[in-house]
Structure 1
């Protein structure tokens, strides 16, 4: 496995870093991913695999690359428990290595997406990245959730519509 920095964006409170991750297997299979590390949150933005990954393999991809990503970021061993798992707070799901709060579906989820988005805007940070970290979803899925929150009326329209009278 190789992890190499792609780019970094400095913000007031810290930095957001993107990494190219490449896994090569003895049978010739390979996986390439673009991972984002921000505010202690790891997200996968893009994955390409040959042959295609099964859903089970895709669900554990973050587990495969988490350790090397932490090393590339210079995170200490005390940032992760002895067994490699985060300490889940009450009400958080514990599947996988990184526990995240369970994200509600439907109107409640859209409302929470809008709250995360607005809070990030007020703090002057990237609202899409804030939604990604809060939900644990990819950038594409997070943008879809933001659009659904806009359609539900929880966020203002992205572009003002012009009248064509």
Structure 2
């Protein structure tokens, strides 16, 4: 998933941001959207997809892109997202539930190594497994390295 800002309107007590969003899937499907972030809410102004989205997928689109949009627009994580151990807060996410803590880091390492063995992009494999953006997936891979589940990226001298 890629998010890049289109434009922003500053108001007295806040800002309204428009962002271009592109979701590209491994099977060649693609969704392009123009999303608006204002007052802690996401609205979709325009959507183009190949192949066409069904109504259920279209209804879930805003919830699925909400977190990465807030991060890209500088609002930080969603207010109901909890940092730390435990289950993710609320059923707001369209992405699969992923365990946090040591178990999550271990699973990231497993996905990473399996992708390497299969000769595919390991970062993309982690992105698909977790449902997170590339940036968040890279952060999770680094945490798995720091925990000792993956070998260090560079040999130390």
* Aligned ranges 1:18-97 → 2 under 5 Å: 22=6, 29-39=16-26, 53-54=38-39, 56-57=40-41, 60=42, 64=44, 68-69=47-48, 71=49, 74-77=50-53, 81=56, 84-85=59-60, 95-96=91-92
Structure 1, unaligned stretches of length 5 or more?
1-16, 44-48, 87-92
Aligned length: 122
TM-score (norm 2): 0.55
Paired residue secondary structure (1:68): strand
1:106 and 2:77 aligned: no
Structure 2, unaligned stretches of length 5 or more?
62-88
- In the TM superposition, residue 150 of structure 1 has moved relative to its aligned partner by 0.5
- In the TM superposition, residue 18 of structure 1 has moved relative to its aligned partner by 5.9
The answer (yes or no) to whether the contact 2:7–2:18 under 8 Å persists in 1 is yes
The separation in 1 between residues aligned to 2:134 and 2:145, in whole angstroms, is 16
- In the TM superposition, residue 151 of structure 1 has moved relative to its aligned partner by 0.9
Paired residue secondary structure (1:155): coil
Distance 1:68 1:82, change over 3 A: closer
1:52-99: CA deviation from partner (whole Å, max 9, x where unpaired): 755x42xx46xx37x825x2xx11445x6487459xxxxxx993473x
The answer (yes or no) to whether the contact 1:21–1:35 under 8 Å persists in 2 is no
The separation in 1 between residues aligned to 2:115 and 2:127, in whole angstroms, is 11
The answer (yes or no) to whether the contact 1:84–1:97 under 8 Å persists in 2 is no
TM-score (norm 1): 0.53
How big is the alpha-carbon RMSD for the aligned residues of Structure 1 and Structure 2? 4.2
Paired residue secondary structure (2:149): coil
Paired residue secondary structure (1:103): coil
